[in-house]
Amino acid sequence: MNEDSIKIARKYMDSLLVESRIIGAVHPASKITFCGYEFDTPIMTAALSHIDLVSMAEGAKKLNAPVSIGMGDNDELKKVLATGAHVMKIIKPYKDRDEIFSRIECARENGAMAVGMDVEHSVNVDDDEDSIVVGKEMKLPTVEELREYVETAKIPFFIKGALSVHDAVKALELGCKGIILSHHNGLMRCAVPPVMLLPEIRDEVGDDLTLIVDGGIESGFDAFKAIALGADLVSIGKPLMDPIKEEGAEGAYSLLKKMTGQLRAMMCRTGAKDLESIDPSVIWME
């Protein structure tokens, strides 16, 4: 029995193979416009926490990569934003809704490019009770509450943990700018791999939602597969942990740079001159 969504997603990713279209290929560009800013890579930091987020943001900024960060207080958020990096703050589904409104306001007032909520962390893995995360009570948000958060934000809002056409359509109806397809390190057991869902979701929502894929993106080659199948951006979490612990901002910068290089290598070898030109038909399934 394998209920581990991380392993299931890895197996799926490894089953995707890429054909070469080297004749006539050119050196590609990996620029992307996201939430009104131009970045040099579609590989962003995942919503991490309990790590030096200032160094993570500094490293991403050096490469001109987008940043997302996870739970933490408003002081930490201000410090991350003071780096000048373009940041999406992912807010927990706190039971105390004032905690949510205060973070939304802090993010907006201090120049965050977007906010979001990791709705997937509101309930436990093995029962349907609301979670407690690092001593803080969470609550499964209602659709009305989510709508209120989206409207209060007045900057782009993302739902993290959306993993179906159903959720994508709901997010669109709520006025979200996009979704982060994520099972949050297996919080959802037996989850359909986020990358597997991409084509169906993209077909349904077209360009109306920005699609970010998270979970098990370990290289720029993985990032390429996700983008080919419909992602606008990918985000990386666990692979950044050791580089940040060992080398701080330089560690984050080096890893994002290496992965962006691998992504560009694959774009070049498949004849894509830019991200929009990546052709899904280069992907084969084993």
Ligand X SMILES: Cc1cc2nc3c(=O)[nH]c(=O)nc-3n(C[C@H](O)[C@H](O)[C@H](O)COP(=O)(O)O)c2cc1C
- Interface residues with ligand X (CB under 6 A) are 46-50, 70-71, 90, 118, 160, 182, 184-185, 214-217, 236-238
Q: d(Cα 135, Cα 95) in Å, to the nearest integer?
A: 12
Q: What is the DSSP string of 80-112?
A: HHTTT--EEEEEP-BSSHHHHHHHHHHHHHTT-
Q: Residue 146 or 272: which CB sits closer to ligand X?
A: 146
Asked if 250 contacts 59 with a C-beta cutoff of 8 angstroms, the reply is yes
Distance CA 194, CA 214 (A): 7
What own/partner pairs with CB < 8 Å and gap ≥ 24 does 1-8 have?
3/189, 3/190, 4/186, 4/189, 5/183, 5/186, 5/188, 5/189, 5/190, 5/191, 5/193, 5/215, 6/183, 6/185, 6/186, 6/215, 6/216, 8/190, 8/191, 8/193
Nearer to ligand X, 184 or 202 (CB): 184
Catalytic residue, from 86, 121, 183, 184: name it.
184
> Taking a C-beta distance cutoff of 8 angstroms, is the pair 179, 158 a contact?
yes
- CB nearer to ligand X: pick between 88 and 266: 88
- Whether residue 237 contacts residue 47, with contact meaning beta carbons closer than 8 Å, is answered with yes
Q: In whole angstroms, how close is the CB of 192 to ligand X at the nearest point?
A: 15
How far is Cα 91 from Cα 283, in angstroms, rounded to an integer?
35
Residue 18 CB, nearest approach to ligand X (Å): 20
DSSP structural state of residue 280? G
- Cβ proximity to ligand X, 256 vs 272, nearer residue: 256
Residue number, 251 or 271, with CB nearest to ligand X = 251
Q: Please state the closest distance from residue 210 (CB atom) to ligand X, in A.
A: 16
Q: Is 184 a catalytic residue?
A: yes
Give the shortest CB-136-to-ligand X separation in angstroms: 11
Cβ 92 to ligand X shortest distance, Å: 7
For residue 268 the two structure tokens come to 């070049």
Which C-beta is closer to ligand X: that of 46 or that of 196? 46
Encoded tokens for 104: 């939304």
* Smallest distance from ligand X to CB 211, Å: 15
Query: What residues are annotated to the active site?
Result: 184
